[in-house]
Structure 1
Amino acid sequence: MGMRHLISSRVDFIGVQCSFCVCFTLQAHIVDVRNIPEALPYFITPKAVDDNSVLLQQLPHWAPCSISQALEFLTPAYKGHPRVMAYVLRVLESYPPERVTFFMPQLVQTLRHDDGKLVEGYLLRATQRSDIFAHILIWHLQGETVPEAGKDPNSVKNAAFLELLPAVRKRIIDGFNAKALDIFNREFDFFDKVTSISGVLYPLPKEERRAGIKRELVKIELQGEDCYLPTAPNKLVTGIQVDSGIPLQSAAKVPIMITFNVVDRDGDRNDVKPQACIFKVGDDCRQDVLALQVIALLSDIFEAVGINLYLYPYGVLPTGPERGIIEVVPNTRSRSQMGETTDGGLLEIFQQDYGPVGSSSFETARQNFIVSSAGYAVASLLLQPKDRHNGNLLFDNVGRLVHIDFGFILETSPGGNMRFESAHFKLSHEMTQLLDPSGVMKSDTWIQFLRLCVKGYLAARRHMEGIITTVALMLDSGLPCFSRGDPIGNLRKRFHPEMSEREAANFMIHVCKDAYNKWTTAGYDLIQYVQQGIEK
């Protein structure tokens, strides 16, 4: 048996005895496994760092690991050990900067513990290699929110972090050459002007706000052909649809939705497509970024192993304190919007839109609903998003479900954490009518849904550590989802690392059956309908 096969995946060694066996095998064959990054967690441990283990001397010769694994070594548990840090920096430098931008929120947080300024040094070097990396980093630096006075238990430590961020931002900008500085100024000036429209609208009566948006949009000029959407750097902006501006309802200041004309950076410049974005002011969207990072990781995992599950990790980017840009999911309506045109449930709506049950178009839409519902069932089990009323559930024009708005995840929920939504994911009666025509969990489509949920959950478990690391690195960020309980410990528990694959599969089946039209979901929809007028 080859060494790579022996330690091909960490999930194969769940359990104390197996981990001991693997560690023993690694130490006996340390030179043979240096080309296997998956072996690293079995000998680079906080204890190895505390003991300054001789095994750490092998790190200069070790193959580069994944970015998420490298970031785990930046946590305080590894105490900035010189050999570990040298390896981490080598790994990060081995990836194109644009690949690393996905983990920018986590890299910014590691600056809290960067006493040797090694991470800062890497970030500054990467900004010299990529304008996009520099821009995304600056937006995230600007997006760190200053906590209210007296609300931060680590105020002294946090103050030092918040003082560092503008200094890093200045060093990045000071390092730009003339061309890079010109690109930066045009990109940021354009989107700062769009975002600032919200402040102009705030004093206006509601009935005048849409006209006010158009007046402001007409004033904004697009300079150059290299301006791009901050949430999607591969989309170049060719213009603004000045009549598209819509003021949105919000408890915060006036968010606005604006549609841009965009083209793919590497595609046909004549293939212009619309892309709407929401610009928020007075609303911290960093938690949405974290939730969508996990959803994007799950989407990549499902694709890599060939599981037909659908997730849509739309773009979100903080651009300043309590400011941000959110991509609008194209070709979608919320479930509450669908309820404005019909009194029927999803089954009736699908028949209106796609034809009678049994027709090719209807069954294709049903299949799309199944694969997307299963994808979000797995994501919801792990993230525990609450506030799942019908305004936060979208359906696209081919029948796929998309969840939006992740203001309550992990340990938090609306209504002072009264936890009305006790099911792991929303599976209302009208959803089960599509998933399970039999009504008694016997339909072929229900069995398909269960199988997809199980496959997705088992695939996610194999990448448990990377997902947990991505979340855990944000623990000091001050995000509401970390404000109570044990969010990281409970996230790990939901992966059930102590279970065999068969046990984990049975657990996921139980989760699905438990969610099947659970009364608390229907009850929460009723509360939303009464309080906010959101259709059930």
Structure 2
Amino acid sequence: QSAAKVPIMITFNVVDRDGDHNDVKPQACIFKVGDDCRQDVLALQVISLLRDIFQAVGLNLYLFPYGVLPTGAERGIIEVVPNTRSRSQMGETTDGGLYEIFQQDYGPVGSTTFETARENFLISSAGYAVASLLLQPKDRHNGNLLFDDVGRLVHIDFGFILETSPGGNMRFESAHFKLSHEMTQLLDPSGVMKSKTWHQFVSLCVKGYLAARRYMDGIISTVQMMLDSGLPCFSRGDPIGNLRKRFHPEMSEREAAHFMIHVCTDAYNKWTTAGYDLIQYLQQGIEK
């Protein structure tokens, strides 16, 4: 398992050459051996492209395409996302789910700080929902979900994308994106998909998906350029054809919007999401 390949983290002091040369800030990097980092690069290129698309059309959706530099066969350098903790690390120091953790970190529900953090979680969750629908990243356990210090979600580790998943495609992660029960508690306090924040989330997902569809050919071309690379994500099935199908080019905008609404409701408390988290906890001790 990839988790058994122990990486090394080193923190550098980096000088800002564009500004004040006295401005030195720490930058941590992970040196990894035994994984083909080119697949992460591919996923992050698509995520970077989506971020640019969202910005170009004026959508307030958050994505963080961190840096990855392959340095040889099955080795590379990975930027550590600053000011973040994984969900599993949060569980080591705090009891309760995200709803309770956000109250502990940002204040009571309804306070400006809590609602700002909830909004940050919402816009980042929607951004990664669109990216996840297209890229189909798997192995979305709580060690691969980061939260920054203002409440934004960041996905890391794209060792399984498109047609591949851990365990020989056993379909444990059948939802198009991860939306666990504790996530829905933040996004939908009503618990029945009636909250203002839930409707905001779905609306942003729909707008992000429709924006991505307009740039479908560019996104597909970005992935297609790596088709002959020998990456695992191209080793089975029809990854390019299935990626195109997820854009549903045959649909009108109204039909595509309804499709994305269905994707969101399908992901809501999908039982396989909780099941996969439980398997990870039992196998590797990764907190649910």
TM over 0.5: yes
SS at match of 1:251: helix
Q: CA deviation at 1:320?
A: 1.0
Structure 1 residues 250 and 460 mapped into 2: Cα distance closer, same or farther (>3 Å)? closer
| Cα displacement (A) at 1:252 | 6.0
Question: Relative to structure 1, is the Cα distance of residues 308 and 347 closer, same or farther in structure 2, using a 3 angstrom cutoff?
Answer: same
CA distance in 2, matches of 1:520, 1:264: 45
For residues 456 and 526 of structure 1, the distance between their equivalents in structure 2, rounded to whole angstroms, comes to: 31
CA contact (8 A) 2:42 2:223 kept: yes
State how far apart, in whole Å, the 2-side matches of 1:448 and 1:411 are: 30
* Offset at residue 341 of structure 1 (A): 0.9
Q: Distance in 1 between matches of 2:117 and 2:138?
A: 26
Shift of the 305–251 alpha-carbon distance from structure 1 to 2, 3 Å rule, reads: closer
| Alpha-carbon spacing, 1:296–1:522, altered in 2? closer, same or farther (3 Å) | same
**Displacement, 1:363?**
0.2
Contact 2:126–2:204 (CA under 8 A) maintained in structure 1: yes
Paired with 1:299 and 1:444, the residues of 2 have a C-alpha distance of 25
Q: Deviations over 1:409-438 (max 9, x none)?
A: 000000111110000000000000000000
Asked whether the 8 Å contact 2:127–2:208 carries over to 1, the reply is yes
More helix by share: 1
Q: What does the per-residue CA deviation read over 1:90-138, in whole Å, with 9 as the maximum and x for residues that have no partner?
A: xxxxxxxxxxxxxxxxxxxxxxxxxxxxxxxxxxxxxxxxxxxxxxxxx
Shift of residue 255, structure 1, vs aligned partner: 1.7
**Separation in structure 1 between the aligned mates of residue 171 and residue 22 of structure 2, nearest angstrom:** 50
1:310 is matched with which residue?
62
1:269 Cα offset (Å):
1.1
- Counterparts of 1:281 and 1:320, CA distance in 2: 9
C-alpha contact 2:163 2:237 (8 A) present in aligned 1: yes
1:257 equivalent in alignment to 2:9: yes
For residues 349 and 490 of structure 1, do their structure 2 counterparts lie closer, same or farther at Cα, with a shift above 3 Å needed? same
Deviation at 1:263, TM superposition (A): 2.5
Cα deviation 1:483-511 (Å, max 9, x = unaligned)? 10000000000000001111001100000
Q: Give the gaps of 5 or more residues in structure 2.
A: none
Structure 1 residues not aligned, in runs of 5+:
1-248
**Cα deviation, residue 335, structure 1:** 0.2
1:242-277 per-residue CA deviation (whole Å, 9 max, x = no partner) reads xxxxxxx96565420001111233111111111100
CA positional deviation for 1:282? 2.2
CA distance in 2, matches of 1:370, 1:253: 33
User: Structure 1 residue aligned with 2:41, among 289, 297, 302?
Assistant: 289
- CA deviation after TM superposition for structure 1 residue 407, in Å: 0.5
Quote the offset at 1:396 in angstroms. Answer: 0.2
Match of 2:141 among 389, 394, 419: 389
Q: Report the CA distance shift for 1:497/1:250 in structure 2 as closer, same or farther (over 3 A).
A: closer
Higher deviation after alignment, 270-279 or 253-262: 253-262
Q: d(CA) in 2 for partners of 1:453 and 1:309?
A: 9
Show CA shifts across 1:438-464 (max 9, x none): 000010000000110011000000000
Cα shift readout 1:9-56 (whole Å, capped 9, x = no counterpart): xxxxxxxxxxxxxxxxxxxxxxxxxxxxxxxxxxxxxxxxxxxxxxxx
Match of 1:465 among 217, 228, 251: 217
Instruction: Evaluate the alpha carbon distance shift between residue 250 and residue 408 of structure 1 in structure 2; reply closer, same or farther with a 3 A threshold.
Output: closer
User: Structure 1's 531 and 437: CA in aligned 2 closer, same or farther, altered over 3 A?
Assistant: same
Tell me how far apart the structure 2 counterparts of residues 323 and 530 of structure 1 sit (CA, whole Å).
Answer: 29
Q: Distance in 1 between matches of 2:26 and 2:61?
A: 26
**2:185 maps to 1:433:** yes
In the alignment, the residues of structure 2 paired with residue 333 and residue 423 of structure 1 have an alpha-carbon distance, to the nearest angstrom, of: 24
User: Which residue of the partner structure matches residue 339 of structure 1?
Assistant: 91
Local SS of the residue matching 2:124: helix
Larger Rg: 1
Map of 2:200 onto structure 1: 448
Partner deviation per Cα, 1:219-261 (whole Å, 9 max, x = no partner): xxxxxxxxxxxxxxxxxxxxxxxxxxxxxx9656542000111
- Please show how residues 118-129 of structure 1 align to structure 2 within 5 Å: none
Deviations 1:160-179 (A, max 9, x none): xxxxxxxxxxxxxxxxxxxx
**8 Å CA contact retained: 1:381, 1:494:** yes
| Contact 1:277-1:326 at 8 Å conserved across structures | yes
Q: 2:30, 2:79 within 8 Å by CA — same for their partners in 1?
A: yes
Q: Distance in 1 between matches of 2:214 and 2:245?
A: 14
Contact 1:333 1:395 in 2 (8 A): yes
CA contact (8 A) 1:252 1:281 kept: no
**Alpha carbons 2:2, 2:35 under 8 Å: kept:** no
1:401 pairs with 104, 128, 153, which one?
153
Structure number with greater CO (CA < 8 Å, separation at least 6) is 2
Contact kept in structure 2, 1:374 and 1:453, CA below 8 Å: yes
Alpha-carbon spacing, 1:251–1:403, altered in 2? closer, same or farther (3 Å): closer
1:305-344 residue CA offsets vs partner (Å, 9 max, x unmatched): 1000000000001011111000000000000000001220
1:348-398 deviation line (CA, Å, top 9, x unaligned): 000000000000000000000000000000000000000000000000000
The question of whether the paired residues in 1 share the 8 Å contact of 2:62 and 2:127 is answered with yes
Aligned residue pairs total 288
Say if 1:458 and 1:251 are closer, same or farther in 2 by CA, change over 3 A: closer
**Conservation of the 8 A alpha-carbon contact between 1:252 and 1:282:** no
Counterpart position of 2:112: 360
Does 2:275 match 1:501?
no
Task: Give the TM-score taking structure 2 as reference length.
Answer: 0.98
Query: What does residue 526 of structure 1 align with?
Result: 278
> Contact 1:252–1:283 (CA<8 Å) still a contact in 2?
no
Alignment deviations for residues 163-211 of structure 1 (CA, whole Å, 9 cap, x no partner): xxxxxxxxxxxxxxxxxxxxxxxxxxxxxxxxxxxxxxxxxxxxxxxxx
**Aligned equivalents of 2:186 and 2:178: distance in 1?**
14
SS across alignment from 1:465: helix
